[in-house]
Structure 1
Amino acid sequence: MTALRITIVGDGSSDANLQPIIDWLIKDRFPMCAYEIAYAHQLRTDGMSLQKRMSAAFALYPCDVLIVHRDAERVDIAARQKEIEKAAVAEDLGLPIVALVPIKMTEAWLLFDEAAIRSAAGNPNGKVALKLPRPKDVEKISDAKTLIFDALKTASELNGRRLENFNVRQARNRVAGLIKDFSSLRHLSAFSQFESRFTVAIEALI
């Protein structure tokens, strides 16, 4: 087969951070596999049902595997997974669709790498304490987005107007690309579930 094509469908601006995670996972599990990953960033999702979002993503970014991300947030993770599975059956695109559902939100999966956060903040040699949770506790954080934003601001060690002008969203979107090893995520139940489903889908295609 030619290069395996993988498309990620997200539901927020931070979901581009999933691409480096998927990239690392494929290299780790399938080092001989040729692949391409696309994040459906051009997809306009306002008012679009989940199943139509899948269909639109596939039309814009044809693929062999579609990864559909939804944050669980206040909904049980199993309910989110069933929601994605139901939409996949209804749309019937004829390809594997893998649900990716963090227990809270995507940002929780970026909180374990202090060095990456400092580098993304533009201050890799900073020493100020960031007060990050232990890797095994990140799924317990109720608002990981606020936590990583605060950590990035603290890591920047900027003050006054320079801190006001610090683009924390851009900094957040750099974090995942600076992480070299995501194996710590394997301690998290949501990631383990995703990895298992994703592995089965890829093994069926290669």
Structure 2
Amino acid sequence: MTLRILFTGEGTSDNGLVPHVETVAAEVGVQAVVTAPDFGRLGLTDCHAVADKLRAVRSLGDDYDLVIVHRDADGGSPHKRYEEVAEAVTSEWSGRPHIAVVPVRALEAWLLLDEAAIRRVAGNPRGRMSLDLPNGSAAERITDPKKLLQQTLATASGVSGRRLATFRSRFPRHRHKLLEALDPYGPVSKLTSWQAFMADLRAALDQA
């Protein structure tokens, strides 16, 4: 039996989490197919809230065995995000197994922990300019990790002028690549939000 998994994030670059879901499924011996709809390309541009996205997916006639929803805590209570996701699933897809992926502030905090990956994605793997990256849980105490990641990538690229403007415009693509390249057993594995994601995912797959 193939497990059908729906993944929804806050933007298409969040889909870089999909390979990690597939890897964990393979590790626990579950054959899984993960679908991450691009609501914009589907013409469903008004889908912002979790409930809206689930309702849109159901309107397409698709069915899934497990729903995975990414929602940043944005500095608030992660527990409230878990409740938000649970309420949306109960409202729009009652009884459907689900898990929530909830970084403490924003997902970008996870990506600030791998200097080598940042330099590589920035196109300057041998760069020596200081990036002054946070260590461990300090990454999740940064007020605006998205802004810091954008600035860090720009610094790591070593480019300037028009080339820098072009480089900055590619941030969603860079973010997606960093997320795909994230080492699940590297520094991010020390963060409680990542640990919760992995534990919840494994538990859901075990019950599938």
TM-score bin, normalised by smaller chain: 0.7 to 0.9
1:53 corresponds in structure 2 to: 53
Alpha-carbon contact 1:104-1:139 (below 8 Å) kept? yes
Specify the alignment match of 1:173 in structure 2.
Answer: 176
The structural deviation recorded for 1:133 is: 0.6
Please give the per-residue CA displacement for 1:154-187, whole angstroms capped at 9, x wherever unaligned. Answer: 11111222112212332222212233x2123232
Verify the 8 A CA contact 1:152 1:172 in the aligned structure 2.
no
Mapped to 2, the partners of 1:92 and 1:178 lie a distance apart of: 32
Aligned length: 201
TM-score of the pair, normalised by structure 2: 0.85
Q: Structure 1 residues 190 and 9 mapped into 2: Cα distance closer, same or farther (>3 Å)?
A: same
Cα 1:66–1:148 shift into 2, 3 Å? same
- Structure 1 residues 48, 71: closer, same or farther in 2, change over 3 A? closer
> Aligned residue for 1:39?
36
Secondary structure of 1:165's aligned partner: helix
- Go from structure 1 to structure 2 and tell me whether the alpha carbon gap of 1:114 and 1:94 turns closer, same or farther (over 3 Å shift): same
Aligned-residue Cα RMSD (Å) equals: 2.1
How far apart are residue 67 of structure 1 and its match? 0.3
Q: What secondary structure sits across from 2:104 in the alignment?
A: coil
Q: Which residue identity is paired with 2:52?
A: K
The alpha-carbon distance between structure 1 residues 20 and 137, as it changes in their structure 2 partners (threshold 3 A), is farther
1:18-33 matches, within 5 Å, as 18-27=17-26, 29-30=27-28, 32-33=29-30
Q: Distance in 2 between matches of 1:57 and 1:169?
A: 23
Opposite residue 128 of structure 2, the aligned amino acid is K
User: Given that residues 116 and 176 in structure 1 are in contact (C-alpha distance below 8 angstroms), is that contact kept between their aligned partners in structure 2?
Assistant: no
Give the direction of change, closer, same or farther, for the CA distance of 1:141–1:23 in structure 2 (3 Å limit).
Answer: farther
Task: Determine if contact 1:14/1:106 at 8 Å carries over to the other structure.
Answer: no
Q: Structure 1 residues 71, 48: closer, same or farther in 2, change over 3 A?
A: closer
Q: Structure 1, residues 3-49: CA drift from partner, whole Å, max 9, x if none? A: 2222211123432232233234334x42x322222222236352654
**1:182 corresponds to 2:184:** yes
Contact 2:39–2:45 (CA under 8 A) maintained in structure 1: no
Q: Given the alignment of the two structures, is residue 139 of structure 1 paired with residue 140 of structure 2, yes or no?
A: yes
Gaps of 5+ in 1: none
Could you list the runs of 4 or more consecutive aligned residues of structure 1 that deviate by over 4 angstroms after TM superposition?
58-61
Q: Is the 8 A contact 1:10 1:40 kept in 2?
A: no
Contact kept, 8 Å, 2:30 with 2:205, in 1: the verdict is no
Counterpart-to-counterpart distance in 1, 2:160 and 2:93:
52
Query: Does residue 201 of structure 1 match 2:204?
Result: yes
